[in-house]
Structure 1
Amino acid sequence: MDSTLTAIILGIVEGLTEFLPVSSTGHLILATELLGYDADAWAVFNIAIQPGAILAVVVLYWRTFWDAFIGLFRWDPQAVAFTRNLLVAFFPAVLLGLAFGDQIEALLESAEVVAWALLLGGIAILLVERHANPSESGGVAAMSLRQSAGVGLVQCLAMIPGVSRSGATILGAMALGVDRKTAAEFSFFLALPTLTGATVLQLYRHQDQLDGGMMGLIGIGFVVSFVVALAVIKAFVAYVSRHGFAPFGWYRIVIGAAAIAWLALR
């Protein structure tokens, strides 16, 4: 398949799945397996296009970030609490990523891990949706330190490909009593430091693969993932506020089961 078309397809997959509780990394790995791409050649690409989806969050929620930035200079309690909660939730991933980066990266080569994580994660979504009792939280700034730290610890599970960073953080927040809309938005905001840090670290480790041809393909994937993520984020928040996350749970179960069967038979 033409490299440009490959970059477009993977950019669409990234933009569609980065902020849904279905695992963008897992889908990119399965897409690589299903379409017969060279997984090693495209691994750095999959990492490098994540900032495109991150930029979509910045564009859509620029007012929230600007208000928090300005509020910090005034030591506004809302801005301080907003920033504190993001940093507290981000910290566990930093420690784990630095301590076990090589082991985590090795998991990215396993489509079987992705398939089982998708299946089990789908079951987890259905269980949390059924048993969690979230209440109106008053927004990200109103979340407690306990809730923020708990979300940060749960986010570490997403270092296993197929678990889904957004799924882990959203469900973790709901299990701790945070309402669906706030849980989803906290997951989006937390993506900025988490994915930016992970992307910078991985690109530094694989800088030898960033030749001119790959940089051009990364640019294409970046733009495509940005445009697609712009459309997905707002629609996702509106949808889950009304319908919840159960449909994503069933989707994960179906895709995970199908992937397990396909990998066993190939």
Structure 2
Amino acid sequence: MHDWWVAVIIGIVEGLTEFLPVSSTGHMILTSTLLGIPDTDELIKTFEIVIQLGAILAGVVVYWKRILRLFGLSKEKPRAGKGMNLLHIMLAIVPTLAIAYLTKGFIKAHLFLPSTVLIGLILGGVLLIVGEKFQPKVTAHDVDELTYKQAFFIGLWQIISIWPGFSRSGSTIAGGMLAGASRKAAADFTFIIAIPVMVAATGYELLKNLDTFSSGDVGFFTIGFIVSFVVALLAVVTFIKFVQKFSMSYFAYYRFAAAALFWFFVLR
């Protein structure tokens, strides 16, 4: 059993990084290493899955109106275009879920390594800069203006995020910008499609790891879940405001700095 402060620290890191384009996987590995938590700690692995659900809940809270509208449960009208619908979501998430399912064994065996995460952090940062520098004329200023083609294109970019360190939000936001979406539209769409992707991934992993959970861990898990939810909620709201004013390149530079720290503390 770990101390409550471990739950708080890991919960903060998860909440801050799950939706931001900086790679939550890379940060979780670095954090666990700095805390002296061994790779064989099954309790922490299950804990990290559970607190991801806290981050997912934060996304649901922020986008609940759009989610209701997707299922025809809201009278709210789209602000632009024909409006995002479930087909947009399916086109964006099916490629990643299919590839992730088919390659899950290979990924866990060969890509969840400090060295591969370091590579993902760097290349993901480069991708953010490419998306910023080579963004074509914006045709979708809002998610309701996204075409099916753009949604599918973003979904193809999301496949890269299977590589730990690339960042799911980083690859999809960059892909959205390269598809002609504004930074805000790309970020909003990224966070919305994150909900079903993360529910599927965390739900699958949680079912496989339930045997590592005991009643004595409830407090530890609850603290992490709540901290992750609150921090993720603040992170999403702040990030959406940030991308409307500032370049995504700033996150790329942060990733390069994180990669340097990752190398110094983990690989050196």
Q: TM-score, normalised by structure 1?
A: 0.91
What's the secondary structure of 1:243's corresponding residue? coil
- What is aligned with 1:233? 236
Counterpart pick for 1:58 among 50, 57, 60: 60
Query: What corresponds to 1:218 in structure 2?
Result: 221
1:101 and 2:101 correspond: no
Which residue is 1:67 aligned to?
A: 69
Evaluate the alpha carbon distance shift between residue 190 and residue 150 of structure 1 in structure 2; reply closer, same or farther with a 3 A threshold: same
Is 1:175 aligned with 2:178?
Answer: yes
| 1:46 counterpart residue number | 48
CA positional deviation for 1:134: 4.6
Structure 1 residue 189 corresponds to structure 2 residue 225: no
Indicate which of 156, 159, 165 corresponds to 2:162. Answer: 159
* Partners of 1:17 and 1:23 within 8 A in 2: yes
What TM-score, normalized to structure 2?
0.90
- Note if contact 1:33-1:111 (Cα within 8 Å) is conserved in structure 2: no
Query: Once structures 1 and 2 are overlaid, which stretch shifts more, 175-184 or 205-214?
Result: 205-214
When structure 1 is superposed on structure 2, of 209-218 and 233-242 the one drifting more is 209-218
Q: Show the counterpart of 1:121.
A: 124
Q: Is the 8 A contact 2:112 2:164 kept in 1?
A: no
SS in 1 for 2:71: helix
Q: Is the 8 A contact 1:134 1:180 kept in 2?
A: no
Residue identity matched to 1:6: V
8 Å CA contact 1:170, 1:180 repeated in 2: yes
User: Which amino acid in structure 1 is aligned with residue 40 of structure 2?
Assistant: D
When structure 1 is superposed on structure 2, of 60-69 and 166-175 the one drifting more is: 60-69
How far 1:142 sits from its partner (Å)? 2.3
Residue 40 of structure 2 aligns to a residue whose secondary structure is: helix
Alignment partner, residue 83 of structure 1: 86
Q: Which amino acid aligns with 1:29?
A: I
Name the aligned partner's letter for residue 245 of structure 1. Answer: M
CA, structure 1 residues 2+103, in 2 after alignment: closer, same or farther (shift >3 Å)?
A: same
Q: Which moved more, 1:104-113 or 1:128-137?
A: 104-113
Q: CA deviation at 1:89?
A: 0.6
Q: Distance in 2 between matches of 1:25 and 1:161?
A: 6
CA displacement 1:200-252 (0-9 Å, x = unmatched): 11112222212223443222211101000111111101111101211100000
Distance 1:109 1:214 in 2: 26
What amino acid is the match of 1:232? A
Structure 2 counterpart of 1:177, which letter? G
Partner residue, 2:113: 110
CA distance in 2, matches of 1:166, 1:212: 34
Could you list the runs of 5+ residues in structure 1 that have no partner in the other structure?
Answer: none
Equivalent position amino acid for 1:36 in 2:
G
Q: By how many angstroms is 1:67 displaced?
A: 2.4
Checking the alignment, whether the CA contact within 8 Å between 2:184 and 2:240 is kept in structure 1 is yes
Deviates more, 1:59-68 or 1:136-145: 136-145
Note the residue ranges of structure 2 that are not aligned, 5 or more in a row: none
Report SS of the residue matched to 2:166.
Answer: coil
CA contact (8 A) 2:30 2:266 kept: no
Runs of 4+ in 1 over 4 A off after TM superposition: 76-79
TM-superposed CA distance for 1:149, in Å, is 1.1
